[in-house]
Chains A and B, each alone.
Chain A
Amino acid sequence: MNTGGWIFMLVSLALVWGTTIWAYIRLLSAPAERPDEPGKE
Chain B
Amino acid sequence: MNNSDKKKMQWGTRVGVILAVAGSAVGLGNFLRFPGQAAAHGGGAFMIPYIAALLLLALPIGWCEWAMARYGGEKGFHSGPAIMGVVGRGRVARYFGILAVLIPMVVYMYYVYIEAWCLRYAWEYLVGGVALTGSIDEQVKTAGTFFSQTTGTDTNGVLNMSTVFWLIVVVLNIVLVYRGLRGGIEKFCQFALPAMAVLAVIVLIRVLTLGTPNPAYPEQNVLNGLGYLWNPDFSKLTHFDTWLAAAGQVFFSLSVGFGVILNYASYLKKKDDIALSGFTASATNELFEVGFGGLITITAAFVFLGASGVGGGFGLGFQTLPVVFEQMGAIGRWIGFAWFFLLFLAAITSSISMLQPAKAFFEEALGISSGKAIAWVSAICGLGSLWVIWFSKNMVALDTMDFWVGTFCIFVLATVQIICFGWVWGVKNGAREIDQGALIRIPRVFLFIMKYVAPAYLLVVLAGFTYFDLRKKLGEMAGNPVALWTLIIIGAVVMLLLAMVAIGERRWRAAGMDLDGRRLLPGESK
Contact = CB atoms under 8 A, between A and B. Distances in A.
A20 B44 contact: no
A34 to B, nearest CB: 8
B65 interface: no
A15 to B, nearest CB: 8
Interface string A7-39: 111011101110110011011101001101000
Interface string B262-288: 000000010111001101100110110
B224 A1 contact: yes
B44 A30 contact: no
Contacts of A33: 13-14, 272
A27 B280 contact: yes
Contact of B231 (A2, A19, A20, A34): A2
Contacts of A30: 14, 273, 276, 439
B482 to A, nearest CB: 40
A11 B475 CA distance: 42
A20 B439 contact: no
A13 B290 contact: yes
Contact of A19 (B44, B232, B286): B286
A2 B227 contact: yes
Nearest to B233: A4
Nearest to A31: B439
Main secondary structure of the interface of B (DSSP, over half): helix
Given A27-B14, A27-B276, A20 B287 contact: yes
- Chain A interface helix/strand/loop/mixed: helix
B289 to A, nearest CB: 8
B227 A5 contact: yes
A4 B440 contact: no
A1 B323 CA distance: 24
Contacts of B277: 27
A33 B272 CA distance: 8
Given A8-B45, A8-B232, A27-B280, A17 B18 contact: no
Contact of A5 (B10, B15, B18, B43): B43
B484 interface: no
Find the residue from B6, B14, B43, B283 having the highest chain A CB count within 10 A.
B283
Interface of B: 6, 10, 13-15, 18, 43-45, 47, 51, 223-224, 226-227, 230-232, 269, 271-273, 276-277, 279-280, 283-284, 286-287, 289-291, 294, 439-440
Interface of A: 1-2, 4-9, 11-13, 15-17, 19-20, 23-24, 26-28, 30, 33-34, 36, 41
12 contacts: A1-B226, A1-B231, A5-B232, A7-B44, A8-B43, A8-B47, A16-B287, A16-B291, A23-B283, A26-B276, A27-B14, A27-B439
The 6 closest A-B pairs by CB, nearest first: A8-B44, A1-B227, A5-B231, A23-B280, A5-B230, A9-B230
